[in-house]
């Protein structure tokens, strides 16, 4: 069994990478499953239709399958789906500041349009749950500011927690044709 963790900063492209890696491995006819440890209740993307929503315990993971786990809280002890030491490979997503701001603004617009923001797997969505509700603007701005303000500190803290594991940092940089990934 091979377990691949995709983690990184909030709103950095983890789901996109999970879906691209899933499709690549399926094209190669390899047995692969994917898990979003945020445990969303609804399908957010057509490729998530078979994403496991009832997260199996580690004992239930099929030995022949490659498991791709997206978990933003993977480096937080007690909040991760699996301990980081159990993964064979860890991909840490870290966008440059401009790319991160563009990703956050795109997500902010989506949050505003849907009236729901900043999902938490234990508490669900924040926000008024009303589309285009102006009362959500201040909480959206606060959430974006919190992420931008803390991104460097989170990266430093996460690198310390990832010591002793096999991890790679994937730096996302914005281009005219959209985000580009660079392995570091």
Q: How many Å apart are CA 117 and CA 107, to the nearest integer? A: 9
Q: How many Å apart are CA 172 and CA 117, to the nearest integer? A: 23
Predicted confidence (pLDDT) at residue 179 exceeds the cutoff of 80 = no
Give residue 176's pLDDT band: very low, low, confident or very high (50, 70, 90): confident
Rounded alpha-carbon distances, angstroms, from residue 124 to 23, 69, 86, 121, 127: 28, 20, 27, 6, 10
User: For 37, phi and psi rounded to 5 degrees?
Assistant: -70, -10
Domain ranges of the chain: 2-183
Q: Which fold has domain 2-183?
A: Rossmann fold (3.40.50)
**Closest CA relative to residue 24, chosen from 110, 91, 106, 73:** 91
Q: How far apart are the first and last CA of the chain?
A: 25
Give the residue, 177 or 96, on which the prediction is more confident. Answer: 96
Other C-beta atoms closer than 10 Å to the C-beta of 41 total 11
Q: How many Å apart are CA 158 and CA 7, to the nearest integer? A: 10
Q: Average pLDDT in the 56-80 region?
A: 82
Q: Average pLDDT in the 14-33 region?
A: 93
The answer to whether 140 and 114 have CB atoms below 8 angstroms apart is no
Give residue 53's pLDDT band: very low, low, confident or very high (50, 70, 90): low
**pTM, to two decimals:** 0.89
Give residue 54's pLDDT band: very low, low, confident or very high (50, 70, 90): low
Predicted confidence (pLDDT) at residue 133 exceeds the cutoff of 90 = yes
What mean pLDDT, rounded, does the chain reach?
A: 88
Predicted confidence (pLDDT) at residue 72 exceeds the cutoff of 70 = yes
Predicted confidence (pLDDT) at residue 59 exceeds the cutoff of 60 = no
Query: For residue 44, what pLDDT is reported?
Result: 72
SS3 at position 163: coil
């Amino acid at each position: 069994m091979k377990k691949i963790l995709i983690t990184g900063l909030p709103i950095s492209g983890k789901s996109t990478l999970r879906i691209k890696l899933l499709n690549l491995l399926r094209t190669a006819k390899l047995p692969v499953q994917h898990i979003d440890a945020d445990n969303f209740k609804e399908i957010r993307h057509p490729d998530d239709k078979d994403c496991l929503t009832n997260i199996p315990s580690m004992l239930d993971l099929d030995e022949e399958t490659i498991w791709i786990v997206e978990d933003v809280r993977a480096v937080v002890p007690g909040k991760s789906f699996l301990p980081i030491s159990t993964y064979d490979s860890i991909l840490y997503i870290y966008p440059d500041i401009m790319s991160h701001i563009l990703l956050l603004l795109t997500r902010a617009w989506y949050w505003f349009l849907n009236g729901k923001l900043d999902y938490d797997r234990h508490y669900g969505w924040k926000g008024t749950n009303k589309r285009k509700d102006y009362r959500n603007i201040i909480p959206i701005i606060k959430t974006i500011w919190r992420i931008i303000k803390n991104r460097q500190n989170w990266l430093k803290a996460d690198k310390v927690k990832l010591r002793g594991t096999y991890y790679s940092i994937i730096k996302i940089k914005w281009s005219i044709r959209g985000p580009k990934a660079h392995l570091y």
